[in-house]
A and B are shown apart, each in its own frame.
Chain A
Amino acid sequence: MPFSPKPPVTLPPRPWGLSREHRIRLGGLELVPDLSGALFAPDLKSLLVADLHLEKASNMAKRGVHLPPYDTRATLALLEAVIAHALPERLIFLGDSFHDDDARERMDGADLAKLRKVTEHTETIWITGNHDPRPPSDIGGRIASEVALGDITLRHEPSQLADGKFEIAGHLHPGATVSQRGKRIRCKCLIGNGQRLVMPAFGSFTGALSISSEPFRKIFAANDFHVWMLGDRAIYRFPAKRVS
């Protein structure tokens, strides 16, 4: 059998689309999860996206690991698709948008132009993260360490929340596992408990950390949260006791 590659396709690597079934309520705000891992607040026409980690591959290339240098364009293709579908007026990145301080310098011209086009059309806020404490200032949008969205605070790392406060964070890259018919199905997920939501990482080369690991146990009481798992075709909601 000969190897017969098909021409490159510019489709995003992951499916996208706002959920028709799920609405997440947090601090009086209704949020719609997207299959891509983004979160949309229809009332405020705001789209939230966490942990893009742009230029992760080229960062690893510095130490001789030559992963495909297409992660940035794959991530941006997915972002464009989500924006075209949700039509937000405001775009808020929850930190670690750039994998490191030099990421912007390494970005390909075409990718950079794509990103600039996004920020020109949509009001953009870059929340700082541990990977990008100083996001580039020349690609549009403004930079903030936290953003208030109604009663909710958006920040990169989950914090010690006082009663009556709400937050949406990223940073932890949550992933969950559910067992069915002896099979274990693992995927990225949102995790939340009515007071706090942690979003999955959006970037094409970002992985997932199990929600049963230490960082999640610190901020979510056992058996007192839900996850929204990102399948290939739909989002599935499970209570804590059903997942690991």
Chain B
Amino acid sequence: MNPLPQIFQDWFAGRGWAPRAHQLNVLLHVGRGDSVLLISPTGGGKTLAGFLPSLVELSETHARNGIHTLYVSPLKALAIDIARNLETPVREMSLPISIETRTGDTPHSKRKRQREKPPDILITTPEQISLLIADPGAAHMLCHLKSIILDELHSLVTSKRGVLLSLALARVQSFAPTARRIGLSATVADPEALQSWLAPAGERPVPLVLGNAGAQPNIRILKSVDRVPWSGHSARYSIPEVYEAIGNAKMTLVFVNTRSQAEMVFQALWEANEDHLPIALHHGSLDVGQRRKVENAMAAGKLRAVVCTSTLDLGIDWGEVDLVIHLGAPKGSSRLLQRIGRSNHRLDAPSEALLVPSNRFEVLECEAALQAAKENAQDTEYPAVLKLDVLAQHVLGRACAGPFDADVLFAEVTTAWTYRNLTRADFDTVMDYVATGGYALRSYEKYAKLKRRPDGLWRLTHPLIAQQYRLNMGTIVEAEMLKVRMASVKRRLGKRVVIGGRSLGELEEWFLSQLSIGDTFLFAGEVLRFEGLDEFGALASKAFGQDPMIPSYQGGKFPLSTYLAARVREILGSPQRWCALPAQVREWLAAQARKSVVPKAHQMLVETFPRAEKHYLVCYPFEGRLALQTLGMLLTRRLERWGAKPLGFTASEYALVIWTVSDLSLMISADKLSLAHLFDEDMLGDDLEAWLASSNLMKRTFRNAAIIAGLIERRWPGKEKTGRQVTVNSDLIYDVLRSHQPDHILLRAAWDDAADGLIDVHRLGAMLKRIKGQIVHRALEAVSPLAVPVLLEIARESIYGKAYDALLAEAAGHLTSEAMGLV
């Protein structure tokens, strides 16, 4: 039975289309009153599948009283495009349906009108849903809601944005209990997690509809004629071949992992660009206007290639892309499949992709990713759950909408799958935090933001708090960014005058604050000369004929996924599979087998050897840079305690190297050092605690949690300009809080984030468990072939730990030498 009304069938037929099976399947589920998760690759008519049930319903009923359908996408920039695409069928079938968008850019007058006369379909972002429900008039707009469409759900659920959205949806459903949820997602590792995410806690996961898988992608690894470098991430060696591939394709997307890499590759391609191909650059810190220009040029087919970062991972197609090149290893199988999916949006034709490893280990990683992609194996992250800082933000938003009962709110919050395990005690702690800061020293009762009135309901104490909430809400905490503007430098009366011009984009403040006037760096596709800071941000001019200093600003650096890491270990541990690898990599591994040993997949190799009057320990856990950095911190503490006198360490995605004064091989053979002991899981106890106490890492996650929970405000009404001076530095707050109330809820939230993210303790813990009893040790005369790449990284690494004082002492020392005429 075709659930589609005749007018829709005619419309499909008129375009020469037939409705796809998954589109009809979604309709059937919705007809039964179900929510549903649709998983389908890009290009499968996924968005239309989400909207079809709403279009059908709206074509049949004519009651106009509130929003019928909410469409939520993580990408603000997409709202207009989605609305435009949806207008087409509505217009062509003459359906009486109004469609509007609402994003951060929507003017106040339009919001007001939407409140008075809501559209049938509202296209918006997660943050806007939270703002909507914080409005006292939310019930009026939402009580007739029938459908909530959640696009790119796979990407939303892994972040705090998704966690906040899940709370907002619990609230939305208290107004419209029968509204269905339609989740639209790319392929994920664990669909059931998403099915559960969509359903109210305690209920059965929503049913799953699968779209057609589409044709197998055609993935190749660049077989370079030149030698693949031992280490580094620039992939500069491959530029001529990459350029040639671009020349042979109609339109190429060149994905890289970091913004600085994007700048470097773009620069290199232009140097090679003898045919003057139109090649553009697209990454997150470029000016929005510039990014839109590139997207429009792509859509119009005016470009041959775009060098981009994860900014182009999501979204609708901007053009006829027929080739995806991935420079550097993709770090995860799902990420690779997503990016490949950006090419060739017709499902029947295979996508074309070229992987370019930037060093030898990445050859293994690309090989692992290619095999995983062939099997369509996914390694997406599990949804984020139970973030206390996000809950605090939601509670304040709830108070902005009007008086509330804490019991009712607790019941509502725990209907969200993400908060199903929230305890009442934690909820009350969060309530207390929002009201008065949650301090044991109860001195803020008179300055409370929320107060419980005699009627038992909680109320805001001042309307200004709601205004502040609206300015500061959201979970995306950026590093402090400064605008970069083009500057012209003039001399007036012998004085240097810098005049700011057009905006180029934004850069991290910490990066800009390292620059001195005259330093050159790569940004926005140009070599720029730093000209100083003014009250609006940084100023820079074009640096003609100068080389840039190495760009060191980061952005979008992903660690190697656990899944790919396991596959890399498997390839390494099975010599019969090396035949797929390039000759030079095979030779490298064969040399390793001769001079040391190539570990089996379940083993971890530890090598010790002397070199240039120092002694080295190299281990190869393949667990990503973050986890290995934490391991390095903890191992050096332990080696220090056991008298090995460690001097420093460096971690790569694959290996960790520690260098010491003492002869480690000797210590091990004399039983003075036990590797099993050294790598024991107990390092995650006191050693971890002691390190974190003295580390700056926790301060970073604390700042994020403090901002999301509203302790530190990003913006103040009417005070945006003075911005950073309004609040106390979060590091100072952290220090004081840690010594006076170490169990404070924000310290818990910060720890939770760090354990998952920056210090990756969970992954480290799993790895230590895995290698128990599986450590293979080789005491060598000299560095092994496998160790060379990580040893080469040492030079480019920074110093850790007590580095600040060491550097200050060094700076002061140099100076003394200068003054004494020793230099």
Give A contacts to B, CB under 8 Å.
1, 3-11, 13-14, 56-58, 60-62, 64-71, 73-74, 106, 108, 177-185, 204-205, 207, 229, 231-234, 236-239, 242
The segment out of B221-229, B596-604, B809-817 that lies at the interface is B809-817
A8-B741, A238-B812 given; A207·B747 CB < 8 A = no
Is A4 touching B689 in the complex (CB atoms < 8 A)? yes
Contact partners of A67 in chain B: CB under 8 A: 437, 711, 728, 733
Is A70 touching B441 in the complex (CB atoms < 8 A)? yes
Q: Which of B742, B752, B762, B811 has the most A CB atoms < 10 Å from its CB? A: B811
Contact partners of A66 in chain B: CB under 8 A: 436-437, 439, 444, 447, 449, 711
Contact partners of B741 in chain A: CB under 8 A: 8, 68, 70
Give B contacts to A, CB under 8 Å.
436-437, 439, 441, 443-444, 447, 449, 462, 464-465, 468, 513-514, 516, 684, 688-689, 711, 713, 727-729, 732-733, 735-737, 739-744, 747-748, 751-752, 755, 761-762, 765, 798-799, 802-805, 807-812, 815
Contact partners of A207 in chain B: CB under 8 A: 728-729, 732
A67-B733, A207-B732 given; A242·B805 CB < 8 A = no
Contact partner, A184, options B513, B748, B798, Cβ 8 Å: B513
- Smallest distance from the beta carbon of B426 to chain A beta carbons, Å? 11
Bound complex: CA A173 to CA B732 (Å): 15
* Other A-B pairs, 20, CB within 8 Å; known A70-B740, A204-B732: A3-B747, A5-B743, A8-B739, A8-B741, A13-B735, A13-B736, A13-B739, A61-B444, A64-B462, A66-B439, A66-B444, A66-B449, A68-B741, A68-B744, A74-B736, A106-B443, A179-B514, A204-B735, A242-B811, A242-B815
Bound complex: CA A205 to CA B815 (Å): 32
Contact partners of B732 in chain A: CB under 8 A: 13, 204-205, 207
Shortest beta-carbon contacts, A-B, top 3: A66-B437, A5-B742, A70-B740
Is A61 touching B437 in the complex (CB atoms < 8 A)? yes
Bound complex: CA A182 to CA B614 (Å): 25
Contact partners of B733 in chain A: CB under 8 A: 67-68, 205
- Smallest distance from the beta carbon of B216 to chain A beta carbons, Å? 40
Bound complex: CA A8 to CA B711 (Å): 21
A60-B728, A66-B711, A238-B815 given; A1·B808 CB < 8 A = no
Is A181 touching B807 in the complex (CB atoms < 8 A)? yes
A64-B462, A205-B732 given; A178·B811 CB < 8 A = yes
- Smallest distance from the beta carbon of B414 to chain A beta carbons, Å? 21
Between A and B, how many residue pairs show CB distances below 8 Å? 147
Contact partner, A185, options B468, B736, B808, Cβ 8 Å: B808
Is B447 touching A204 in the complex (CB atoms < 8 A)? no
Is B444 touching A180 in the complex (CB atoms < 8 A)? no
- Smallest distance from the beta carbon of A21 to chain B beta carbons, Å? 10
Interface residue SS majority, chain A: loop
Contact partner, A234, options B439, B729, B803, B805, Cβ 8 Å: B805
Is A64 touching B465 in the complex (CB atoms < 8 A)? yes
Is A11 touching B514 in the complex (CB atoms < 8 A)? no
- Smallest distance from the beta carbon of B476 to chain A beta carbons, Å? 21
Contact partners of A205 in chain B: CB under 8 A: 728, 732-733, 736
13 contacts between A and B (CB under 8 A): A3-B752, A7-B742, A10-B739, A57-B728, A61-B444, A67-B711, A69-B441, A70-B439, A70-B741, A180-B808, A183-B803, A184-B514, A204-B736
- Smallest distance from the beta carbon of A131 to chain B beta carbons, Å? 15
Bound complex: CA A95 to CA B464 (Å): 33
Contact partners of B439 in chain A: CB under 8 A: 66, 68-70
* Nearest-CB residue, chain A, relative to B441: A69
- Smallest distance from the beta carbon of A200 to chain B beta carbons, Å? 13
* Nearest-CB residue, chain A, relative to B434: A66
Bound complex: CA A156 to CA B444 (Å): 30
Is A237 touching B812 in the complex (CB atoms < 8 A)? yes
Is B762 touching A69 in the complex (CB atoms < 8 A)? no
- Smallest distance from the beta carbon of B438 to chain A beta carbons, Å? 8
- Smallest distance from the beta carbon of A17 to chain B beta carbons, Å? 13
Contact partner, B747, options A5, A236, A242, Cβ 8 Å: A5
Is A71 touching B739 in the complex (CB atoms < 8 A)? no
Contact partner, B728, options A3, A56, A178, Cβ 8 Å: A56
- Smallest distance from the beta carbon of A37 to chain B beta carbons, Å? 13
Is A185 touching B735 in the complex (CB atoms < 8 A)? no
Contact partners of A232 in chain B: CB under 8 A: 802, 804-805
Bound complex: CA A59 to CA B393 (Å): 23
Is A65 touching B727 in the complex (CB atoms < 8 A)? yes
Is B805 touching A231 in the complex (CB atoms < 8 A)? yes
Is A11 touching B739 in the complex (CB atoms < 8 A)? yes
Is A70 touching B516 in the complex (CB atoms < 8 A)? no
Is A233 touching B740 in the complex (CB atoms < 8 A)? no
Contact partners of A65 in chain B: CB under 8 A: 711, 713, 727
Bound complex: CA A106 to CA B442 (Å): 12
Is B740 touching A64 in the complex (CB atoms < 8 A)? no
Contact partners of A231 in chain B: CB under 8 A: 804-805, 808-809
* Nearest-CB residue, chain B, relative to A244: B516
Contact partners of A234 in chain B: CB under 8 A: 805, 808-809
Is B444 touching A9 in the complex (CB atoms < 8 A)? no
Is A6 touching B808 in the complex (CB atoms < 8 A)? no
Contact partners of B803 in chain A: CB under 8 A: 183
Bound complex: CA A44 to CA B736 (Å): 33
Is A68 touching B437 in the complex (CB atoms < 8 A)? yes
Bound complex: CA A67 to CA B706 (Å): 10
Contact partner, B742, options A6, A179, A229, Cβ 8 Å: A6
Is B810 touching A1 in the complex (CB atoms < 8 A)? no
Contact partners of B752 in chain A: CB under 8 A: 3
A183-B514, A184-B513, A234-B809 given; A64·B449 CB < 8 A = yes
Bound complex: CA A69 to CA B711 (Å): 13
Bound complex: CA A229 to CA B755 (Å): 34
* Nearest-CB residue, chain B, relative to A181: B807
Contact partners of A71 in chain B: CB under 8 A: 736
- Smallest distance from the beta carbon of A120 to chain B beta carbons, Å? 24
- Smallest distance from the beta carbon of A211 to chain B beta carbons, Å? 15
Bound complex: CA A232 to CA B439 (Å): 28
Contact partners of B807 in chain A: CB under 8 A: 180-181, 183, 185
Bound complex: CA A160 to CA B741 (Å): 44
Contact partners of A6 in chain B: CB under 8 A: 689, 742
Bound complex: CA A68 to CA B811 (Å): 36
- Smallest distance from the beta carbon of B756 to chain A beta carbons, Å? 9
Is B742 touching A180 in the complex (CB atoms < 8 A)? no
Bound complex: CA A238 to CA B819 (Å): 12
Contact partners of A242 in chain B: CB under 8 A: 811, 815
Is B748 touching A3 in the complex (CB atoms < 8 A)? yes
* Nearest-CB residue, chain A, relative to B746: A68
Is A233 touching B711 in the complex (CB atoms < 8 A)? no
- Smallest distance from the beta carbon of A150 to chain B beta carbons, Å? 29
Contact partners of B765 in chain A: CB under 8 A: 1
- Smallest distance from the beta carbon of A167 to chain B beta carbons, Å? 26
